[in-house]
Amino acid sequence: MIHQLIFAAPKPGMTDQEFHRYWVEEHAVRYASKIPQIKKYAVDTTVNPLGSDEPLWKGIAEIWLENEEEQLASLQTPEFLEGARLDEPRWAAFWQSVVLDTDTEVVVPGVPQDMVQPGVKLVILTKRKEGLSREEFRRHSREVHAPLVKAVPGVTRYYQSFTRDSWYGISEPPFDAAYHIWFDSLAGLEAAQRGAEQAAVEADYKNFVNQQYTHTVPVRENWVLGPQAR
């Protein structure tokens, strides 16, 4: 199944709160969720841990589609062409949006996938280090980096989403992976960031990631369709 991630920011003049409300309560419900090929759909809205940098994006759409054929069909529906696509300029700075199609691997499963995982999560976008192939990058991510993240106290669920191979046949994608790391609460996330285990995670980035292109987006999930697929 394709796990599509769309990173978005508010249009000029719109506050974060207005942006979040419109996306979750208007766009997602009235337009995006009506596209029949979408199996699951969540909007992740940003939260603000103490001491964190301001994220470049203020929300993430997470969309699950069965395959490439269903994805292409979704872009040809009236629900997309006459609904979601036309609505986007009303609330989003579409020129800042970044889209990734990914294959997601479960490292720490958390609650069953058809149930809402409580709490907050970090979504971390990464680009592989210069000279590293994507196969080497993925191997390090799975075999070396993932165990370090699993050791961080308070991690309740952990996914690694790798950009799909088909994207590399077109051009070099802006990011090679997105990591999703859940915590029970914002306080738990903040406590974990101060620990020695998190220091080991961050130290490992230099071994396989170009840190100039690393972005961290702390969010809370808002489910529109799912988490059980329709």
Domain at 86, CATH number: 3.30.70.100
- Tell whether 30 is covered by a domain: yes
Q: Check residue 142 and give its pLDDT.
A: 98
Q: What is the DSSP string of the chain?
A: -EEEEEEE-BPTT--HHHHHHIIIIIIHHHTGGG-TT--EEEEEEE---TTPPPPS-SEEEEEEES-HHHHHHHTTSHHIIIIIHHHGGGTB-GGG-EEEEEEEEEEE--S-TTSPPPSEEEEEEE-BPTT--HHHHHHHIIIIIHHHHHTSTTEEEEEEEEEPHHHHTTS--S-SEEEEEEESSHHHHHHHHTSHHHHHHHHHGGGTB-GGG-EEEEEEEEEEE-SS--
Each residue's pLDDT tens digit, 200-227:
999 999 999 999 999 999 999 999 999 9
Kindly state whether residue 199 falls inside one of the protein's structural domains: yes
What is the per-residue pLDDT for 51? Answer: 64
State yes or no: pLDDT of 75 exceeds 80: yes
Q: Residue 51: inside a domain, yes or no?
A: yes
Tens of pLDDT along 120-155? 999 999 999 999 999 999 999 999 999 999 999 999
For 15-62, the pLDDT digits (tens) are: 999 999 999 999 999 999 999 999 999 999 999 876 667 889 999 999
Does residue 73 sit within a domain? yes
- Domain total of the chain: 1
Per residue in 78-122, pLDDT tens? 999 999 999 999 999 999 999 999 999 999 999 998 999 999 999
| Any domain includes 217 | yes
* Assigned domain for 61 exists: yes
Q: Which domain does 46 fall in, by range?
A: 2-225
In a domain, 230, yes or no: no
**Is 46 inside any structural domain?**
yes
